[in-house]
């Protein structure tokens, strides 16, 4: 199997004042390259911690996490930044675009941090074309609708050709019609480009559209429910 | 991220908050302008004083009686009740010896006192100097009209006077066409034979407010001294500016011999123009540092303005920092971004401040000239380099703390920040 994500016994412990909180307990699973997975669970189930760990924003307290062949559990901050830059694309619930920059500028950002200067503009333009925003490239975020802003965010997430795209409630701030459009865009990108897609959501309708659902409960995999949403 | 990109982004971000950036820059502008203006005024004062000292001649020496070192002596303090022997005319004559003092060109003894000039009911109190003909040459004196005191006046103890322009104006109301008039000094009639050219302030007060009479006349009729032939000061012109130190040495040796003083306990003081220059340079240097220091404090306050606004900016942009980190920004990228912003703030402030300070210095110079003071503030390259680098350093220094705070934010925390 060609695994893009291998997680072995991931454990994450926080100190909440005096108390130790285990956000993840010995979670192990693999995700295949090109797969489309949703992570579900009630609030407090460790969903966000899981996303932060898989997105290399945070390190697990123990356990091993291998992303696209690189073991990231022991990396330092700058190495993590580099891995995020090359291998992870993020789509956030609240878009998180920089209001000073144009759509093009926002999409160019990951390329800037990758140190790419040649062909940067062209790659960003291509990404924006891929999400259907060819004629909105020089607009700033406040000149765009919510759906268009999220499209810019999707373009930004795929401009570096990452191994995985992490989408955290990508439709959470959008009405159902626009949300559906964004989901269709993500599905199409997964299908056409074969980009591995991980969607963190609490919406069963979203989860239904993915190939597999990873359910979390109290920081552990909810194995009984794991393959319910699978449609292949 | 390359450096030019960082500058471009920083400019964009500063432009996004014009009011705030402008006010922060203003703090630096005021600081740098103050430093530039104050240093310019200080340098101007120094140049003006140095200039007026130089105007008395570069190869000039002064001999006073009294020791410069031990109390209660001091230049010009005269005999102070101890055993100091006064300088006399024969001391002055001895200095003219071309063999014992080859570096000495001219010797001009003088005796000085205050007196009242009177003409047609107008009074003016001024310094009366009893001088010899060489005095005019030694002191670089030029005559606007008439002649200076000559040897004939000395030998004849004649009642003639050369007036400074201020003194002339004080009693005549004008400085021209007064030669030939007769005025009274301390009630005695003197004929005006010349008026000197205005020189401005000098090391011993204004040379323009003065009256010069023949040495012998002063000695006999106006300025009484306890010892016969006593003189207050001997002006000496060295053969060249380079010969001043050796002239000083020769003069000291001759007077030591004549006064029979043990070595090290001189009862006289030889002062060169260099001594005056360095004394005043020290005074104005301290003044300049003092002014610059006060201005520097305002620059420091401007720097605190930067740290303040950068901290606000970091807090405000926590989410942005989190996002940038999620997209792959390393610590040094974030550090560079914020340091560039703070440095740009202070650099822009520095550049505007230099121009503004220049303007202030220019206006001060205009005002000084308009009010009749011969004083030009000098904006030196050193002041420009100093304040530019100082403001850049301030930008960096006060940017480091906020920037490292931004760089060390945890991406997870920063992204969650509302």
Average of per-residue pLDDT across B9-20: 86
Please judge whether A96 and B319 are an interchain contact, meaning their C-beta atoms are less than 8 angstroms apart.
yes
Q: According to the model, what pLDDT value does residue B74 have?
A: 41
Please judge whether B1 and A112 are an interchain contact, meaning their C-beta atoms are less than 8 angstroms apart.
yes
Query: What residue in A sits closest to B323 (Cα-Cα)?
Result: A96
The percentage of residues in chain A with a pLDDT greater than 90, rounded to a whole number, is 64
Distance, CA of A88 to CA of A103 (rounded, Å): 20
Q: According to the model, what pLDDT value does residue B367 have?
A: 87
Residues B144-167: pLDDT tens digits? 888 899 988 889 889 999 998 888
Residue B4 near chain A (CB below 8 Å): no
| Mean pLDDT of all residues belonging to chain A | 89
Higher-confidence residue of B81 and B389: namely B389
The percentage of residues in chain B with a pLDDT greater than 70, rounded to a whole number, is 91
Query: What residue in B sits closest to A166 (Cα-Cα)?
Result: B326
Q: According to the model, what pLDDT value does residue B173 have?
A: 86
Taking 70 as the threshold, does the pLDDT of residue A229 lie above it? Answer: no
Strands A62-67 and B210-214: unpaired
Q: According to the model, what pLDDT value does residue B202 have?
A: 53
Query: What residue in A sits closest to B415 (Cα-Cα)?
Result: A96
The Cα of B401 is separated from the nearest Cα of chain A by a number of Å equal to: 19
Query: What residue in B sits closest to A107 (Cα-Cα)?
Result: B327
Q: What is the dihedral of CA B40, B46, B48, B51, to 10 degrees?
A: -140
Looking up tokens 């091993």 gives A64
Looking up tokens 């304040």 gives B387
Tokens encoding A19: 């108390």
Q: According to the model, what pLDDT value does residue B329 have?
A: 92
Distance, CA of B220 to CA of A122 (rounded, Å): 103
CA-based end-to-end distance of chain A: 17
Q: Could you give the angle at the alpha carbon of B169 between the alpha carbons of B168 and B175, nearest 5°?
A: 70
Confidence of residue B72 (pLDDT cuts 50, 70, 90): very low
Q: According to the model, what pLDDT value does residue B93 have?
A: 85
The Cα of B382 is separated from the nearest Cα of chain A by a number of Å equal to: 39
Q: In chain B, what residues touch A113 (CB-CB under 8 Å)?
A: 1, 324, 327-330, 333
| Mean pLDDT of all residues belonging to chain B | 84
Taking 50 as the threshold, does the pLDDT of residue A232 lie above it? Answer: no
Q: According to the model, what pLDDT value does residue B370 have?
A: 82
**Pick from B50, B87, B130, B95: which is nearest to B238 by CA?**
B95
Peptide bond preceding B173 in cis form (omega within 30 of 0): no
Q: Which residues pair with A89 in a beta bridge?
A: A165
Residues B251-287: pLDDT tens digits? 888 888 888 877 667 788 888 877 877 888 888 888 8
Q: In chain B, what residues touch A57 (CB-CB under 8 Å)?
A: 325-326, 411-412, 415
The percentage of residues in chain B with a pLDDT greater than 90, rounded to a whole number, is 16
Tokens encoding B109: 């003894």
In this structure, are residues B192 and B161 in contact, taking their beta carbons and an 8 Å threshold?
yes
Q: According to the model, what pLDDT value does residue B261 have?
A: 76
Helix (H) or strand (E) holding A62: strand A62-67
Looking up tokens 């040897």 gives B151
Q: According to the model, what pLDDT value does residue A137 have?
A: 92
Q: Can you tell me whether residue A229 is helix, strand or coil?
A: coil
Q: According to the model, what pLDDT value does residue B205 have?
A: 56
- Tell me the C-alpha to C-alpha distance, in Å, between residue B249 and each of B11, B239, B272: 65, 14, 11
Q: According to the model, what pLDDT value does residue A81 have?
A: 93
Taking 50 as the threshold, does the pLDDT of residue A231 lie above it? Answer: no
Domain boundaries, chain A: 34-60+79-225
Distance, CA of B377 to CA of B76 (rounded, Å): 32
Please judge whether B326 and A117 are an interchain contact, meaning their C-beta atoms are less than 8 angstroms apart.
no
The Cα of A214 is separated from the nearest Cα of chain B by a number of Å equal to: 22
Q: What is the CATH number of domain A34-60+79-225?
A: 3.40.50.300
Distance, CA of B34 to CA of B28 (rounded, Å): 10
Residue B11 near chain A (CB below 8 Å): no
Instruction: For residue A45, report the phi and psi dihedrals to the nearest 5 degrees.
Output: -85, -5
Confidence of residue B78 (pLDDT cuts 50, 70, 90): very low
CA-based end-to-end distance of chain B: 27
Taking 90 as the threshold, does the pLDDT of residue B222 lie above it? Answer: no
What is the value of ipTM here, to two decimals? 0.92
In this structure, are residues A144 and A152 in contact, taking their beta carbons and an 8 Å threshold?
yes
Residues A136-164: pLDDT tens digits? 999 999 999 999 999 999 999 999 999 99
* The three-state (H, E, C) secondary structure of chain B, written as one string: CCHHHHHHHHHHHHHCCHHHHHHHHHHHHHHHHHHHHHHHHHHHHHHHHHHHHHCCCCCEEEEEECCCCCCCCCCCCCCCCCCCCCCEHHHHHHHCCCCCCCCEEEEEEEEEEEEEEEECCEEEEEEEEEECCHHHHHCCCCEEEECCCCHHHHHCCCCEEEECHHHHHHHHCCCCCCCCCEEEECCEEEEEEEEECCCCEEECEECCCEEEEEHHHHHHHHCCCCCCCECCEEEEEECCCCCHHHHHHHHHHHHHHHHCCCCCCCCEEEEEHHHHHHHHHHHHHHHHHHHHHHHHHHHHHHHHHHHHHHHHHHHHCHHHHHHHHHCCCCHHHHHHHHHHHHHHHHHHHHHHHHHHHHHHHHHHHHHHHHCCCCCCCCCCHHHHHHHHHHHHHHHHHHHHHHHHHHHCCCHHHHHHCC
Confidence of residue B327 (pLDDT cuts 50, 70, 90): very high
Distance, CA of B316 to CA of B260 (rounded, Å): 83
Taking 90 as the threshold, does the pLDDT of residue A87 lie above it? Answer: yes
Residue B418 near chain A (CB below 8 Å): no
In this structure, are residues A116 and A124 in contact, taking their beta carbons and an 8 Å threshold?
no
Average of per-residue pLDDT across B69-98: 64
Query: What residue in A sits closest to B17 (Cα-Cα)?
Result: A100
Please judge whether A90 and B327 are an interchain contact, meaning their C-beta atoms are less than 8 angstroms apart.
yes
Residues with Cβ within 8 Å of residue B330, at least 6 apart in sequence = A77, A78, A81, A82, A113
**Pick from A185, A168, A198: which is nearest to A94 by CA?**
A168
């Amino acid at each position: 199997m060609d695994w893009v994500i291998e997680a072995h016994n991931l454990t994450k412990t926080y100190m909440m004042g005096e108390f130790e909180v285990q956000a993840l307990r010995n979670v192990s699973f693999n995700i295949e390259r090109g797969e489309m997975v949703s992570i579900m669970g009630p609030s407090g189930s460790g969903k966000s911690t899981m996303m932060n760990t898989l997105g290399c924003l945070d390190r697990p307290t123990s356990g091993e996490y291998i992303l696209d062949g690189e073991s990231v559990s022991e990396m330092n901050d700058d190495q993590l930044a580099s891995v995020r830059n090359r291998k992870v694309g993020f789509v956030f619930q609240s878009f998180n675009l920089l209001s000073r920059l144009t759509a093009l500028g926002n999409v160019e950002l990951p390329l800037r941090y990758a140190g790419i200067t040649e062909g940067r503009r062209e790659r960003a333009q291509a990404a924006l074309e891929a999400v259907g925003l060819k004629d909105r490239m020089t607009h700033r975020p406040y000149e765009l609708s919510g759906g268009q802003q999220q499209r810019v965010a999707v373009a930004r997430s795929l401009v570096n050709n990452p191994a995985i795209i992490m989408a955290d409630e990508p439709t959470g701030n959008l009405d159902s019609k626009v949300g559906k459009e964004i989901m269709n865009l993500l599905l199409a990108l997964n299908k056409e480009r074969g980009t591995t897609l991980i969607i963190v959501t609490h919406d069963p309708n979203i989860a239904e559209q993915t190939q597999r659902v990873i359910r979390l409960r109290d920081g552990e995999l909810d194995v009984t429910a794991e393959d319910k949403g699978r449609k292949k | 991220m390359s450096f030019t990109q960082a500058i471009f982004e920083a400019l964009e971000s500063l432009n996004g908050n014009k009011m705030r950036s402008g006010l922060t820059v203003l703090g630096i502008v005021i600081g740098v302008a103050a430093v530039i203006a104050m240093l310019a005024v200080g340098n101007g004062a120094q140049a003006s004083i140095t200039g007026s000292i130089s105007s008395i001649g570069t190869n000039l020496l002064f001999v006073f009686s009294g020791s410069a070192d031990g109390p209660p002596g001091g230049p010009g303090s005269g005999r102070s009740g101890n055993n100091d022997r006064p300088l006399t005319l024969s001391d002055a004559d001895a200095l003219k010896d071309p063999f014992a003092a080859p570096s000495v060109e001219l010797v001009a003894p003088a005796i000085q006192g205050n007196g009242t000039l009177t003409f047609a009911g107008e009074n003016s109190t001024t310094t009366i100097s009893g001088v010899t003909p060489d005095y005019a040459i030694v002191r670089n004196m030029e005559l606007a009209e008439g002649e200076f005191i000559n040897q004939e006046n000395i030998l004849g103890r004649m009642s003639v006077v050369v007036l400074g322009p201020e003194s002339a104006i004080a009693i005549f109301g004008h400085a021209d066409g007064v030669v030939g008039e007769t005025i009274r000094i301390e009630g005695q009639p003197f004929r005006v034979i010349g008026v000197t050219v205005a020189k401005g302030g000098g090391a011993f007060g204004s040379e323009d407010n003065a009256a010069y009479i023949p040495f012998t006349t002063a000695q006999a009729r106006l300025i009484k001294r306890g010892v016969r032939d006593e003189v207050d000061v001997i002006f000496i012109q060295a053969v060249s500016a380079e010969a001043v130190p050796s002239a000083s040495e020769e003069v000291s040796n001759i007077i030591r011999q004549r006064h029979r003083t043990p070595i090290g306990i001189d009862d006289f003081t030889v002062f060169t123009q260099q001594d005056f220059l360095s004394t005043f340079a020290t005074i104005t240097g301290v003044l300049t540092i003092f002014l610059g220091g006060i201005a520097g404090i305002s620059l420091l306050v401007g720097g605190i303005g930067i740290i303040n606004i950068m901290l606000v900016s970091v807090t405000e942009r926590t989410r942005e920092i989190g996002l940038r980190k999620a997209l792959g920004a390393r610590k040094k990228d974030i550090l560079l971004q914020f340091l560039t912003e703070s440095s740009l703030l202070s650099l822009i402030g520095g550049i505007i401040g230099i121009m503004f300070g220049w303007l202030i210095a220019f206006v001060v110079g205009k005002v000084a000239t308009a009010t009749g003071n011969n004083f030009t503030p000098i904006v030196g390259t050193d002041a420009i380099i100093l304040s530019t680098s100082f403001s850049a350093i301030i930008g960096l220094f006060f940017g480091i703390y906020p920037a490292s705070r931004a760089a060390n934010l945890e991406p997870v925390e920063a992204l969650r920040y509302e």
